[in-house]
Copies of this chain bind each other. A is one copy, B any other.
Amino acid sequence: MAQAPDGVPVITRGDDLAARLTPALAALRWPDGSTGVAEGDVVVVASKVVAKAEGRLVAARDAAEREAVIAGETVRVVATRQRPDGTMLRIVENTQGLVMAAAGVDSSDVPAGTALLLPEDPDASARRLRRGLHARLGVRPGVLVTDTAGRPWRRGLVDMAIGAAGVRVLADHRGRRDAYGRELNVTVISLADEIAAAAELVKGKAAGRPVAVVRGMAHAVTLEDGDGAATLIRPPAEDMFRHGVDAD
């Protein structure tokens, strides 16, 4: 069960994100008659509003400046392809360790002449938001910071978790047995990415709903903030698709 409240105000640099989100979150109404955010809920926030609150807008007045911004966020070029219009599409590993087009730099839904960097440390952003929501709402939901990304081999984008606090990001089923008594071979599920996807279904795109609450996730919410979404990044030694060249 998930809901995305209307009425979230525009977020700008220096905003206290928890304070800005709290009224809309507290006003949520659930089918069982309850309101607001409860223990065991996960609050899922688009990285865009987190980055705006953190002042991550930078100048990018033309294509060359935008390219320079992307280069500054790039650690390694993983793959390149020429687009039909002659420009280059670059899939890169960025400073957060994420592999994304344009290093995750966002040029959509930002003021003309600017670009928006991802939060510098999305797990720290999630922990900070969680503390703020706890102080204001009196409950301690899990918090995810999400971004939208493409995948190899599959058309269409999906949301994924780039920051997490108080969420068991991986559900480890190793050791569980199947109905025939043998160990399961599907062993570790990315709960955080699945919650991010479920939240996107209710947030939608360009609808002014950058936050959603996913209910019924008590098994995924932890008292401790935990290791965060950085643990979802596959270590290079396990990664069969992180070829490419180090950026200058």
Contacts and interface: CB of A to CB of B under 8 A. Distances in A.
Contacts of A223: none
Interface in A157-197: 157-160, 169-171, 173, 176-180, 182, 184-186, 188-195, 197
Contact of A79 (B32, B80, B184, B240): B240
Interface in A136-160: 148, 151-160
Contact of A170 (B156, B206, B208): B156
Interface stretch (A16-24, A55-63, A108-116, A125-133): A108-116
Contacts of A98: 153
B206 A201 contact: no
Given A1-B2, A153-B233, A153-B241, A191 B186 contact: no
A191 B240 CA distance: 27
B194 A178 contact: no
Contact of A148 (B186, B191, B214): B186
Contacts of A201: 191, 194-195, 198, 214, 216-217
Nearest to A240: B79
Interface centre among A2, A156, A232 (most CB of B within 10 A): A156
A174 B192 CA distance: 27
A47 to B, nearest CB: 12
A108 B173 CA distance: 13
Contacts of A156: 169-171, 188-193, 232
Contacts of A190: 154-158
Nearest to A169: B156
A182 to B, nearest CB: 7
A233 B155 contact: yes
A48 to B, nearest CB: 10
Considering the complex of A and B, which 4 residue pairs feature the smallest CB-CB distances, nearest first? A156-B190, A152-B241, A198-B198, A197-B197
30 contacts: A1-B1, A1-B31, A2-B198, A98-B153, A108-B178, A108-B182, A108-B184, A108-B186, A109-B178, A109-B179, A112-B180, A151-B151, A153-B233, A154-B190, A154-B234, A155-B233, A156-B171, A156-B192, A158-B190, A158-B193, A159-B194, A173-B205, A177-B206, A178-B206, A186-B205, A191-B201, A194-B197, A194-B198, A202-B216, A241-B241
